[in-house]
Structure 1
Amino acid sequence: MLRKYIVILILLFCCFSFSGIAQTYQLPAGKKYHKVKFELINNLMVIPIDVNGTELSFVLDSGVGTPILFNLADQDSIQLNNVTEITINGLGDGDPINALKSTGNFVQLGNVKNISQNIYVVMDAGINFSPSLGIPVHGIIGYDLFRDFVVDINYIKQTIKFHDPELYKYKKSKNNRVVDLSVIRKKAYLDAFVMINKTEEVPVKLLLDTGSSDAVWLFEDERIQLPEKHYQDFLGKGLAGDIFGKRTKISHLKISDFVLSDAKAAFPDMETFTTISDFGGRNGSLGGEVIRRFNVVFDYKNEKLIMAKNANFSKMFQYNISGIDLQHAGMRYVSERITDSNGVVNNDAKTYGDVQIILQGATRLSLVPEIVVSGIRQGSPAHSAGLREGDVILAVNGKRIHRYKLQEIMHMLNVKKDKRIKVLVERYDNDLLFSFELKPLFDEQ
C-alpha cells in the first residue's frame, strides 16, 4: 500500500506582506448572496472550503474564532503562508496544545473569498474528528464568516446563504421570531429559559454553538441544579481531549416563545473549562440538536437571530440508549456473492466501497470502512451484554453494516426503547453475537 506523506509548504514572509490587508470575506461586486450546500452529520454542518488551492472540509462552528486546521494526513500537500509557532487552549481534559499560526492565506467558498485569512494548524495526529463523524473533516471555521455576512441556514434543505449585510432585508412572517444576540469576543450568546424539575423557569445565557452536536449544556450553580435522574457519559471530544459529564433531561427549554419539552441536557464536568478564566455570565451552550429544529438567520452586525420552526422541531431528542460509541478505524474487505442460486449474475446488485474485485465472476470483494466500538458506557445494555471497546461491528439485527453510513448504524443501535438489538462483532478473529434490550434512560422517556 502506498503511504501518503503530508508536505506543508511554508512561504517565507519576505518580499510581500499581507499584514496591511483586512481579513474579510467578499462577494463579487453586485452579488447579493452566495448559496452553499452542506452535509448534516450528527447535527453538524460540513462545508467544502478551498485553502490556498487545496479543497478541504470544514465544520461551520459559530463557537470558534480563528479557523483551525487538523487531520491533514489525507492530503498530499497543502500550502501554509507565514507560519509561527503558538499554543492554543481548547475544551477537554488535556493540556494546552502546540499549534502553528499561519497568516495571509487565500480561502474560498464558492464565490466567497478572503485573500488574507489567519489560520491555526494543529499538527497532533490524535486530534481527528473524522472517525467519529464517518467522513473526512479537516477543520472548523466560524466567526469570520458570521462577521462578514448575514448567514441564512435552512436545515431541511441543507443550504446556507451568505448574504451581503448591506443588501439583506428582513422578511416579516408570523412564523419568525427575532431574538437578540450578544456578540462578545467573537462568540454569540442568546438569552433563554430552562425549567429543570417542573418548578420554575430559570433565565440563562447560552453560547450559540453550531459546532456542538449536543442539545444544551448547563453549568451547575445555586440556580441550576442537576436533576436527580442522570447518568455519567462521554459528551464529546474537544481540541484538548475528551469531555465527560452528566447526561439528563429537563422539563423544558424556552427561546422567545418556542418551547421544547423534555429537552435533552448535559452538565459537563467543570474540569473541562479550566482554561476559561471568565465565563462572562454564561450558563451553558446551545448546540446543533436544538438549533437544527429551526431555520435560522445569523445577523452578527445587528446582533440578531431570526428563528422559524422547521420539520425537525417536534422530533424526539436522541439518546445513546445502547451505550455504544462508534468510529471508523481504517478499511476492510468484505465478500459478497453476485450470482443467484442458478449461477446467474445479478447486474443490479448494489456495490459498496471505492474498490471492488470480482473473483471468477461470482464473488465480489469490496473495500469498505471498518466500524469499531470506540467507547462503551459502564452499566449500559451493550456493556452488560458483553460488548467491549475495540469490537469490530459486522451486522446489526441481521443487516451488514458496510451498507450504511456511521450515523445510520448509530440509529439502528438506538432505534427505540424496549427494542431488542442483536449485534454481530469480530473479536480476535472470532465472530460473536450479542443481544440486549434497549431500556428507557428516564421513566418519562
Structure 2
Amino acid sequence: MEKIPFSIIGNHIMQIPVKVNGNEVKFLMDTGIGPTVLSRDFVEELSLKKVGTMIGKRMSGQELELPLVKVPSIEAGNLVRENLEVGIFDTSSFPPVLEEIKGILSIGFFKGSVLTMNYSGPFLEITDTTARESQFDHGTRVPVEIEYNGPSVSLYVKIKLPSGRLGKFEVDTGSDLLILNSKLMAELGVTHDDPNVESFKGTDETGHDYERFLAEMKGAIALDGYPDLMQEKPKVIFQDIIHDGLIGHDFLKRYIVSYDIDHKEMIFYKR
C-alpha cells in the first residue's frame, strides 16, 4: 500500500505531488476531468510532440478539441505509467493560487489499482486490486457506470432525489457542491424568484456564458439502493448542463471512498 498526502486548496481542490519524467511537480486530482492533462506551458517545457486529438464535452455541452501528447513517465506514489497519452490543457485562466500546477490527474490513471481518498488523513492510498476482497469487505459497494472516450474516463452513479426521481450523476471531485440540471428546479420546489435563491452569471474558460442558481435542497439525496449513503438538505447549484447532475466534494468528503475501475465499483466507509 502506498499513501500519498494531499492538501485542499480553497474549499475542495485536491493538490497532490506527482513525478513527471522523474521530477516532482504539483498536480490536481480530479475524477471529473476525463483524461489526465498537462498544462500547455509544461508540455512546451518538456518538448512533447502532439500525437493526436480527442473530442470531449464540458458539462454545459460545449465540444472541446483536446490535443494529445505522450509522456514518457508519470508517477503517483508507487504507481508508474509509461508512454501515457494525455491531453494538453490551457491553465491561463487559473487563479494565482494554482499557478504552480503542472497538470491534472484523472481517475483513469489508476486503472488496474484501487484508489482510496481518505479526507481525514488527508491522503490517497493506492492498493493492488488482488487485495480487494480482504481489504474492502467492510465497506459499502456501490456500482458505477464507466464511460470511455479515448484516454478519457468518466464515472457515474445513480442518485435518488427528494422527488423520487433517479438521476445519473457524474462523480466529480473537482466540483464542490452538488450540481443539478436547471430543468429539475421546479420539480424540487425551487423557483428563480425565491429570495433565498442566489443567482450569479459568468463566463467559463471556453467563452461560454452561464447562469447558476444556488439554493438549499428541501429533503435529502441518497445513492440509489443505499439510503444510509445520503445527505440532508444539501446546498445545490442549478445550471443548464448535459447531465442530470454532478456529485462532488461536499458529499464525498463525508466518507472514505475507494474507486475500483476494473470492478466498476465505488466503496464507501464511514469516517
Q: Secondary structure at the match of 1:201?
A: coil
TM-score, structure 1 length as denominator? 0.51
CA distance in 1, matches of 2:261, 2:207: 28
TM-superposed deviation, 1:215: 1.9
CA distance in 1, matches of 2:236, 2:19: 35
TM-superposed deviation, 1:145: 2.4
Distance change >3 Å, CA 115–CA 242, structure 1 → 2? farther
Contact in 1 for aligned 2:35/2:106 (Cα 8 Å): yes
Residues 1:47 and 2:8 aligned together: no
TM-score, structure 2 length as denominator? 0.80
Residues 1:286 and 2:253 aligned together: no
TM-superposed deviation, 1:303: 1.3
TM-superposed deviation, 1:91: 2.9
Partner of 1:232: 199
Contact in 2 for aligned 1:71/1:139 (Cα 8 Å): no
Any stretches of 5+ residues in structure 1 without a counterpart?
1-32, 274-281, 311-445
CA distance in 2, matches of 1:192, 1:91: 21
Alignment match of 1:218 (pick from 173, 176, 180)? 180
Partner of 1:149: 113
Contact in 1 for aligned 2:43/2:88 (Cα 8 Å): no
CA distance in 1, matches of 2:59, 2:156: 21
Matches within 5 A, 1:29-428: 33-41=1-9, 42-70=11-39, 72=41, 78-84=45-51, 86=53, 89=56, 91=58, 100-122=67-89, 124=90, 126-128=92-94, 130-131=95-96, 133=97, 136-168=100-132, 169-173=134-138, 176-185=139-148, 186-195=153-162, 200-212=163-175, 214-221=176-183, 224-225=187-188, 227-228=190-191, 229=194, 230-233=197-200, 243-251=210-218, 252-255=220-223, 256=226, 257-270=228-241, 273=242, 282-310=243-271
Contact in 2 for aligned 1:52/1:105 (Cα 8 Å): yes
CA distance in 1, matches of 2:7, 2:206: 22
Which amino acid in 2 is paired with 1:216?
L
TM-superposed deviation, 1:96: 5.4
Report which structure shows greater RCO (CA 8 Å, sep ≥6).
Answer: 2
Contact in 2 for aligned 1:127/1:239 (Cα 8 Å): no
CA distance in 2, matches of 1:166, 1:126: 41
CA distance in 2, matches of 1:94, 1:253: 25
Q: Please report the RMSD computed on the Cα atoms of aligned residues, expressed in angstroms.
A: 3.0
Which amino acid in 1 is paired with 2:7?
E
Could you tell which deviates more after superposition, 95-104 or 42-51? 95-104
Residue-by-residue CA offset, 1:250-289 (whole Å, 9 max, x unaligned): 122122223311111111134xx5xxxxxxxx41110111
Distance change >3 Å, CA 47–CA 287, structure 1 → 2? same
Q: Which has the higher strand share?
A: 2
Greater than 6 Å deviation, 4+ residue runs: 92-95
Q: Secondary structure at the match of 2:233?
A: strand
Which amino acid in 1 is paired with 2:237?
A
Distance change >3 Å, CA 234–CA 104, structure 1 → 2? same
Distance change >3 Å, CA 227–CA 243, structure 1 → 2? same
Q: Percent identity?
A: 20
Partner of 1:278: none
Residue-by-residue CA offset, 1:214-247 (whole Å, 9 max, x unaligned): 2211114478456123221258956665654111
Any stretches of 5+ residues in structure 2 without a counterpart?
none
Contact in 1 for aligned 2:169/2:244 (Cα 8 Å): yes
Whichever of the two has the greater Rg, that structure is: 1
CA distance in 2, matches of 1:241, 1:62: 22
Partner of 1:415: none
CA distance in 2, matches of 1:100, 1:66: 11
Which amino acid in 1 is paired with 2:257?
V
TM-superposed deviation, 1:162: 0.9
Which amino acid in 1 is paired with 2:92?
G
CA distance in 2, matches of 1:140, 1:95: 20
Contact in 1 for aligned 2:56/2:66 (Cα 8 Å): no
Q: Secondary structure at the match of 1:78?
A: helix
Contact in 1 for aligned 2:16/2:26 (Cα 8 Å): yes
Residue-by-residue CA offset, 1:95-123 (whole Å, 9 max, x unaligned): 7566532124311123221111112123x
Q: How many residues align?
A: 256
